[in-house]
Amino acid sequence: MFHCISFSTGVSLYFLAQEEAEVTTGIDGLAILNQLLNGFGIVGVLLLTGLGLAITFGVMRIINLAHGEFIMLGAYVTFVMQSTFQMDLLLTIPFAFIVTAAIGAVVEFIIIRRLYGNPLETLLATWGLGIVLQGIVKLLFTAQLKYVKAPAYLSGSLVLLSDSSGAARVAISYYRLFIVLVGLALLGITMFLFYGTSWGRQIRAVTQNRDMSKCLGVNTQLIDMGTFAYGCGLAGIAGTVISPLKSVAPPMGQDYLVDAWMVVVTGGVDRLVGILAGSFLIGESNALIAFLLNDPLARVIVLTAVIVLIRYRPEGLFTVQKRV
Amino acid sequence: MTNTVLGYKQSTFPTQLIVISTIGFLMFAILPFALGDFQLSLVSKLIIFGSLAVSLDLVWGFTGILSFAHGVFFTLGGYAAAYYLKLNLSASANNYGGELPDFMVWNGLESLPWFIAPLKHFPIALFATVAVPALFAYIIGYFIFHSKVSGVYITIITLAISSALTTFFVSQQAYTGGTNGITDVSRLNFFGTPISATGIYFLILIYATFVLALSWWLTQSNFGLILRSINENEQRIAYLGYDVAQYKIFIWTLSAALAGLAGGLFVPLNRFISPVYLAVAFGTQVVIWVAIGGRGTLIGPLLAAMLLGQVQNSVEKVTQDWQLIVGILLLVVVLFIPSGLMSLLPERFNLTNLSRPKPIEPRIPSEKGS
């Protein structure tokens, strides 16, 4: 895992890889490195998809099972913008954010608001909402797979190590790097919003003591709506950024839902940084186990590990133990 | 359960229950004479799904554990039955003539794996149909319910289990048939004679009656009262000295066993089983039946599963957007009719009252001083 941290400094990585290559007769070390880089790509996706959930679940305690559908909506916004206005993927990000956040606000107003303090009902309602959103998108765009183009300047890959003939030995695609960067940037922005602005202070006040905040003149209903909408907007951005990796289709969100939950549960929602740690742990362990065994088994093992983790530490790995 | 709850009538012999089950059973017993083969197999399937919904209702409606994993228990039972039927294909019906099922041959297996081979024998297969899901559920239950994990996390765990097992079954192609599952199984035989569609229908009907009667009896008893109390205030029940975890594990395992048996009956009817029934989507379907029918009503989920299945069958001829309709229905029920469609029935027809023991009339203390 420490290999990964040193990726940001290309030079040290080069020597590290060189050394390892010499020690372990070449191929193996490089293969593991490549696999870790693959894992780095997974980490980016997990970070992006988990972040929105960290807001809606972590901050507001809303069990949002429609999270995957908001990701899907973001991807469809990008698809529409690209196919009608030939827009660059990067430029569609604000639209995806605005549209999904607006839908999130409406959903909060119509559905979530009635169910506060009732987590199982919320879970059921958001699951129903997910089915409805899928159904509506299917009505509008049909179930056909849609494709979104990644920007040309993000194609190709960053070659970290090449052999004598110039063929890439260790490389990561620019788009994977881009995903990780977007994830980190959004994490940074969110942390700034939460810990550096008056809106964030109000959100934290409401989560700590709703009645007291109300007494002090905080419009808690507006805060709830805004926070939920923001979480959904982040899911929308995730959808946009992820969309070129696979095809865009109504059920695509389901794939990301379980993973996003696993990240949030692993990292814990006490602090937003937990999400980064959670996605790093899950993404890299997934990649490593997949290298040793195979992909499906890796998924099974990681999911099992997370189940065990929930059993013993439902508050997440990276949460400071509170006295109850 | 020898523990009694004070203030409530002891459950007596359930006369009313038996009368109603008999009437219901007789009504369905006439059906094969009125329906064609296709309709009959559809009704059989719906009854199985209905019983599955009842088994979920036991844990969700009564005990408050929302599980998306009931499709998993159902499918585990289904696979046990499918292995039995597949291994008993006569050599002439088997394209490869050998002992080995076709999908194992395709995937290069040389001999039957030790954990599948015993399923060739009917008693073992029948036992496995119930025991495998029950054991799996017991392990999960033992693991989860002895902790302080709250309801929502349990639901997320069931989601993860369902997701993980689907991936696992799809990946183990040589043993499970991968995405296709186990297809082209033999018919269910009774000492050499194949059982007809009507026969299977009656088997299923008997099973459904058994499930319903058992659940009714259980929930009407003091044991059922404790389950209901766990749902309402777990902590208080624990303070009263009941071991909440034991109760939860018991009902969870029982429910899984019933679901597994449903799966075991589903395979002879449907003639195949595949990871589709393992996936979260099918688990959701079961949850939706219970939610729409009415939690804690037993008969509600059964009816909801059968009616929705029937409606789905006709609607899907017209439109592809059945799921959208179900989603809207679920949202409306959760938001506006939280106790399900059964609660809309007038009190008289609400059979749920049967399973709710009436409190003993409190003795009014004579007024002071007079």
B322's tokens: 């059945």
* Domain membership flag for residue B228: yes
Q: Which residues of A210-223 are buried (b: 16+ CB within 10 A; e: fewer)?
A: eeebeeeebeeeeb
Count of the separate structural domains present in chain B: 1
Is the overall model pTM greater than 0.95, yes or no?
no
Question: What local confidence, expressed as pLDDT, does residue A320 receive?
Answer: 61
**Helices B197-220 and B222-232, packing angle to 10 deg:** 70
Question: Is B171 within 8 Å of A131 when comparing Cβ atoms?
Answer: no
Q: Is the pLDDT of residue B97 over 60?
A: no
Chain A residue with minimum CA distance to B158: A307
Comparing CB atoms, the residue among B152, B165, B284 nearest residue A119 is B152
Region class of A86: left (phi > 0), else alpha (psi between -120 and 50), else beta: left
Question: What local confidence, expressed as pLDDT, does residue B99 receive?
Answer: 66
Chain B residues within 8 A of A300 when measuring between CB atoms: 164-165, 167-168, 171
How many beta-carbon pairs under 8 angstroms link A with B? 118
Q: Which residues of B262-301 are buried (b: 16+ CB within 10 A; e: fewer)?
A: bbbbbbbbbbbbbbebbbbbbbbbbbbbbbbbbbbbbbbb
Chain A residues within 8 A of B170 when measuring between CB atoms: 296
Neighbours of A30 (CB within 10 A): 17
Q: Is the pLDDT of residue B260 over 90?
A: yes
User: Residue B201 in contact with residue B40, Cβ under 8 Å?
Assistant: yes
Most confident among A137-141, A294-298, B115-119, B336-340 (mean pLDDT): A137-141
Q: How far apart are alpha carbons B217 and B215 in whole angstroms?
A: 5
* Domain membership flag for residue B366: no
Question: What local confidence, expressed as pLDDT, does residue B273 receive?
Answer: 87
User: Residue B304 in contact with residue B290, Cβ under 8 Å?
Assistant: yes
Chain A residues within 8 A of B290 when measuring between CB atoms: none
More confident residue, B195 or B243: B243
Closest approach of B132 to chain A, Cα-based (Å): 19
* Domain membership flag for residue B203: yes
* Domain membership flag for residue B1: no
pLDDT tens track for B133-170: 999 999 999 988 887 777 788 888 888 889 888 888 88
**Length in residues, chain A:** 324
Asked if the interface predicted TM-score (ipTM) of this complex is over 0.85, the answer is no
Among residues B199, B198, B219, the alpha carbon closest in space to that of B299 is found at: B219
Please give the full DSSP string across B191-214, using - where no structure is assigned.
TTEEPPHHHHHHHHHHHHHHHHHH
Write out the residues of chain A at the interface with chain B, using a CB-CB cutoff of 8 A: 63, 111, 114-115, 119-121, 123-125, 127-132, 134-136, 138-139, 143, 254, 258, 261-262, 265, 294-297, 299-300, 303-304, 306-307, 310-312, 314
* Domain membership flag for residue B198: yes
pLDDT tens track for B198-249: 888 888 988 988 898 888 888 878 888 888 888 888 888 888 888 888 889 9
* Domain membership flag for residue B364: no
- SS3 per residue for A229-254: HHHHHHHHHHHHHHCCCCCECCCHHH
* Domain membership flag for residue B363: no
User: Would you give the distance in Å from CA B71 to the centre of its chain?
Assistant: 8
* Domain membership flag for residue B3: no
Among residues B239, B293, B223, B214, the alpha carbon closest in space to that of B49 is found at: B293
Question: Is A303 within 8 Å of B155 when comparing Cβ atoms?
Answer: no
Chain A residues within 8 A of B155 when measuring between CB atoms: 120, 123
Closest approach of A311 to chain B, Cα-based (Å): 6
For chain A, which domains are there? 19-248+256-312 (1.10.3470)
Among residues B105, B106, B76, B103, the alpha carbon closest in space to that of B267 is found at: B76
Question: What local confidence, expressed as pLDDT, does residue B355 receive?
Answer: 47
Q: How far apart are alpha carbons A177 and A45 in whole angstroms?
A: 10
Burial of A52 (0-12, 13-18, 19+ CB in 10 A): buried
Q: What one-character DSSP code corresponds to residue B108?
A: T
pLDDT tens track for B52-85: 999 999 999 888 888 988 999 999 999 998 888 8
Question: Is B156 within 8 Å of A261 when comparing Cβ atoms?
Answer: yes
The domain in which residue B295 lies consists of: 15-355
